[in-house]
Amino acid sequence: MIKKLTIAAVFALGSALPMSQAQIKIDLPTKKDNSVSPIVREKIENYAREVNRIIQDEKRLMEKDLELAKTEAERKGWSKAELDDEKAKIADRYSQRIDRRIADLGFDVDDVIRKQVRYSLLNSDAADQEQLKKELTKKFRAENSFRSYISYGVMTFTNNAAENDLDRNKTFSNNLELGLHYNRQLGAASPWGIVSGVGLSWRTLRLGNDMFFKTENNGVSIENAGKNLSKSKLRTGYVMVPLGVQYNFSPLQTVADDVVYRSYFKGFRVGGGLYGGVQMSTNHIIKGDDMKIRNRAEYKVNPFVYGAEFKLSYNQVTLFVKKDFSPYFKDNAFPNDKMVQIGLSYGY
């Protein structure tokens, strides 16, 4: 940016003859502006004064060369285009000289940025490095928080046994879950974290072909209603508790000096772990011709579930796959049917 401004200023000087004395002005925050570190302000003001001195020195020398070029043009009868070309060459030569002299000042932009960051974070030009590090370490500490989430997944079943009535009659089924995740990063710069929490899950198993669940003789079966059913679903609520790990691919960030941290929630993440749940209740909802039933009963749905999950996340969106290790039903009802779920989650 400085080089562009310098070249523009030199060309303007070269094309405006006769030239008057010009003074470079850089607008800086006033002394009353508390958003800028006094040390940073002083460094920039000193740097601006040095840059201005260099440009004024080179400007005086360039003016002499431009006068000589004008005299030479009159003596040799140069055209206006030839004179303008010579002026451009002189301006370019002096812009390069100015750039070199400015570079020789050795202005450390990184050091100024570090000082301003320190001031912005602590509102002080604290000279105590230990205190500074302590304050920054506290501000950019490892993640340790609860965050809300909501997820929706499509359910199906795996079964290594012979096909049963449930396998033949189930239709689109889903799971809705919402809750809180507890996230604990294993160090401010660590890519690893532990994820746990608690959530409420509503698993909805739907039947087609005008079938419904029937309980009798301490068992459960699937029967045909003998009439058209627009809705036949078994909805079970669980309190779920996950426990897993997460790896974050976001890069390390340097705040100041030797204080570094890694954003726990931003960027790509992969994770996995186990989960378990305890049943709250089960409702069988049936709607059809002259029929509207909502029955809360056991229906032999497993009161305890457990399984494993794999997650791939980007920022707040997560693609997940879950697999129950426990049967969906207990007491050998529809044996070996175990839920598999794939879906999306929003939140952390």
* 111 and 236 share one domain: no
Tell me the per-residue pLDDT of 154-167, one tens digit each, with 9 for 90 and over: 999 998 877 889 98
Tell me the per-residue pLDDT of 182-203, one tens digit each, with 9 for 90 and over: 999 999 999 999 999 999 999 9
Tell me the per-residue pLDDT of 278-329, one tens digit each, with 9 for 90 and over: 999 999 999 998 889 999 998 999 999 999 999 999 999 999 999 999 999 9
The stretch 202-217 carries a mean pLDDT of: 93
Domain contains 265? yes
Residue 29 has what pLDDT? 45
* 286 and 186 share one domain: yes
Residue 80 has what pLDDT? 86
* 229 and 343 share one domain: yes
Where a domain ends, among 59, 90, 122? 122
CA dihedral 313, 255, 106, 123 (to 10 degrees): 140
* 118 and 144 share one domain: no
Residue 26 has what pLDDT? 42
Measured from the Cβ of residue 6, the count of other Cβ atoms closer than 10 Å reads 22
* 173 and 108 share one domain: no
* 241 and 325 share one domain: yes
Domain count, the chain: 2
Domain contains 127? no
Distances in Å between the alpha carbon of 6 and those of 50, 53, 66, 200?
A: 13, 13, 17, 64
3-state SS string over the chain?
Answer: CHHHHHHHHHHHHHCCCCCCCCCCCCCCCCCCCCCCCHHHHHHHHHHHHHHHHHHHHHHHHHHHHHHHHHHHHHHHCCCHHHHHHHHHHHHHHHHHHHHHHHHHCCCCHHHHHHHHHHHHHHCCCCCCHHHHHHHHHHHCCCCEEEEEEEEEEEEEEECCCCCCHHHHHECCEEEEEEEEEEEEECCCCCCEEEEEEEEEEEEEEEECCCEEEEEECCEEEEEECCCCEEEEEEEEEEEEEEEEEEEECCCEEEEECCEEEECCCCCEEEEEEEEEEEEEEEEEEEEECCEEEEEECCCCECCEEEEEEEEEEECCEEEEEEEECCCCECCCCCCCCEEEEEEEEEEC
* pLDDT of 49 over the 50 cut: yes
What is the identity of the amino acid at 298? E
Instruction: Output the six-digit token pair for 165.
Output: 């009535």
Percent of the chain topping pLDDT 90: 47
Structural domain for 48, as ranges:
2-122
Tell me the per-residue pLDDT of 74-91, one tens digit each, with 9 for 90 and over: 888 888 888 888 888 888
* 32 and 163 share one domain: no
**CATH number of the domain to which 153 belongs:** 2.40.160
* pLDDT of 20 over the 50 cut: no
User: What letters, b where the CB count within 10 A reaches 16 and e where it falls short, cover 67-96?
Assistant: eebbeebeeeebeeeebeebbeebbeebbe
* 106 and 208 share one domain: no
Percent of the chain topping pLDDT 70: 81
What would you report as the CA-atom Rg of the chain, rounded to the nearest whole angstrom?
37
Question: Residue 331: which residues within 8 A CB-CB, separation 6 or more?
Answer: 219, 300
Would you say 140 and 188 are in contact if contact means Cβ atoms under 8 Å apart? Answer: yes
Question: Residue 75: which residues within 8 A CB-CB, separation 6 or more?
Answer: none
The stretch 209-214 carries a mean pLDDT of: 93
Q: Which of 108-122, 246-260, 287-301 has the lowest mean pLDDT?
A: 108-122
* 214 and 251 share one domain: yes
Domain contains 133? no
Q: Is the pTM of this model over 0.75?
A: no
Residue 31 has what pLDDT? 41
Domain contains 129? no
Domain contains 131? no
pLDDT band at residue 121, thresholds of 50, 70 and 90?
A: low
To the nearest 10 degrees (0 to 180), the angle between helices 109-122 and 129-139 is 70
Question: Residue 89: which residues within 8 A CB-CB, separation 6 or more?
Answer: none
* pLDDT of 108 over the 50 cut: yes
* 49 and 161 share one domain: no
Domain contains 46? yes
Provide the sign of the torsion angle of the four alpha carbons 152, 158, 163, 165, taken in this order.
Answer: negative
Residue 54 has what pLDDT? 86
Q: What is the mean pLDDT of the chain?
A: 83
* pLDDT of 101 over the 90 cut: no
Domain contains 327? yes
The stretch 150-178 carries a mean pLDDT of: 92
* 185 and 96 share one domain: no
CA distance 33 to 40: 12
Q: Which residue has the higher pLDDT, 307 or 219?
A: 307
Q: Which residue has the higher pLDDT, 333 or 202?
A: 202
* pLDDT of 268 over the 90 cut: yes
* 91 and 188 share one domain: no
Region class of 123: left (phi > 0), else alpha (psi between -120 and 50), else beta:
left
